[in-house]
Amino acid sequence: TQLLEQSPQFLSIQEGENLTVYCNSSSVFSSLQWYRQEPGEGPVLLVTVVTGGEVKKLKRLTFQFGDARKDSSLHITAAQPGDTGLYLCAGSNTGNQFYFGTGTSLTVIP
């Protein structure tokens, strides 16, 4: 059972463009995380959001947790080639297990 669906699955954009990645579920989560994974490496945590409606910013990345805590978005402003990677959302109800989304593969072309 895939609890979290991400869209788009693949995204290829030019350097300097903006983009948004979505993470949707029919389930409510107490917390949601976003990770970035580069080829040959494990995922690395970018942010954790825990409050409905919460917005967090990390330099050019803006993360939002939906009011109902069922969805989240990641917005990147002025994308750079260094942003290239696989972006994964992960939701938890108990803090014991995290359910990962299907992933969005981003390529930023110089």
Partner 1 sequence: DADVTQTPRNRITKTGKRIMLECSQTKGHDRMYWYRQDPGLGLRLIYYSFDVKDINKGEISDGYSVSRQAQAKFSLSLESAIPNQTALYFCATSDWGGANEQFFGPGTRLTVL
Nearer CB in complex with partner 1: 26/96: 96
Residue 78 to residue 46: CA distance in whole angstroms: 18
Number of Cβ within 10 Å of residue 10's Cβ equals 9
Nearer CB in complex with partner 1: 28/50: 50
Contacts to partner 1 from residues 17-76, by CB under 8 A? 31, 33, 40-45, 48
Answer for which of 22, 62, 73, 99 binds partner 1 (CB under 8 A) is 99
CA angle 26, 29, 34 (to 5 degrees): 100
User: According to the binding rule CB under 8 A, does residue 97 interact with partner 1?
Assistant: yes
| Closest distance to partner 1 from the beta carbon of 56 (Å) | 11
Nearer CB in complex with partner 1: 75/100: 100
58-91 b/e (C-beta count within 10 Å ≥ 16 → b): eeebbbbbbeebbbbbbbbeebeeebbbbbbbbb
Q: Which residues bind partner 1 (CB under 8 A)?
A: 1-2, 4, 6, 9, 31, 33, 40-45, 48, 88, 90, 92, 95-103
